[in-house]
Structure 1
Amino acid sequence: MRAKAGDATGALTAYAGLLPHVLRLGGPDHHLTLSIRYNLAYWQGETGDAAGAVTAYAELLPDMLRVLGPDHPDTLTTRHDLAYWQGKARDR
């Protein structure tokens, strides 16, 4: 996997290419779709686009809340990472 090799841009590109296929097969509320969107937000931040990561996490969080609920570990992780990247975006 590109991410493990340290290729943040490659990981971002790979997840972006995968998303349309998973959306088509599983739909927007499928757990895998949410997971890919989460990874897209993460790798967007890791490529240096903290503001883009904030936007992506902010768009993802309402869907996580609706589909998984406020106490689900993935929802909590999304909240955490949104706050983290908000801090990073302000530091730039």
Structure 2
Amino acid sequence: QQALELRKRLLGEEHPDVATSLDSLAGLYSSTGRYREAEPLYQQALELRKRLLGEEHPDVSTTLNNLALLYFYTGRYSEAEVLLQQALELSKRLLGEEHPDVANNFNNLAELYFHTGRYGKAEPLYKQALAISEKTLGVGHLTTMTVRGNYARFLREAYR
């Protein structure tokens, strides 16, 4: 909160770093279950990033993904799906098919499909996420291990 207020005061309300602080504070609130407080901050960050950086910017994809995860955590699956798909397409277009952020987006969309019983859609996304993570980050990287764990959990549940 202090960083957000300081950035607003020093940089003005219309600055990309203000959007970064909004996104970060929303992330803290979301990770501690304070979803009602997080959602408007994510929405503000998204609107500010789109306005200041344009619709075609990796930071826009990041905030789309973060807001989508909040919707996912609160059971708003259809809203989450739309945003996750947008984040994935945007990150692929801007960063390339084999970027770690793309792997993260594949994983998050796979998680949504898994938790909503759409196993046929989930599995290829897990595979893509894992392949990209292993190639770009290495097999021992925390992100790669997280994706591998998610995929393993999916396989245990889906094929019991």
Q: Does 2:45 correspond to 1:18?
A: yes
TM (norm. structure 2) is: 0.52
Cα distance change of structure 1 residues 60 and 4 upon mapping to structure 2, 3 Å threshold: closer
> 2:115 — aligned with what?
88
Moved over 2 A (4+): none
Q: Which blocks of at least 5 consecutive residues in structure 2 are unaligned?
A: 1-24, 119-160
Q: Does 2:58 correspond to 1:31?
A: yes
What is the correspondence of 1:1-92 to structure 2 with a 5 Å cutoff? 1=25, 2-90=29-117
C-alpha contact 2:68 2:83 (8 A) present in aligned 1: yes
Cα distance change of structure 1 residues 75 and 25 upon mapping to structure 2, 3 Å threshold: same
**Percent identity, aligned pairs only?**
25
C-alpha contact 2:58 2:90 (8 A) present in aligned 1: no
Shift of residue 86 of structure 1? 1.1
Instruction: Name the aligned partner's letter for residue 74 of structure 2.
Output: T
Instruction: Name the aligned partner's letter for residue 28 of structure 1.
Output: E
Higher RCO, 1 vs 2 (CA within 8 Å, ≥6 residues apart): 1
Count, aligned residues: 91
Output one character per residue of 1:47-88: Cα deviation in whole Å (capped at 9) or x when no partner: 111232122111221111110111111111001110110111
Superposed CA RMSD in Å reads: 1.6
Larger radius of gyration: 2
The 2-side partners of 1:89 and 1:51 are apart by 10
TM (norm. structure 1) is: 0.85
C-alpha contact 2:77 2:112 (8 A) present in aligned 1: yes
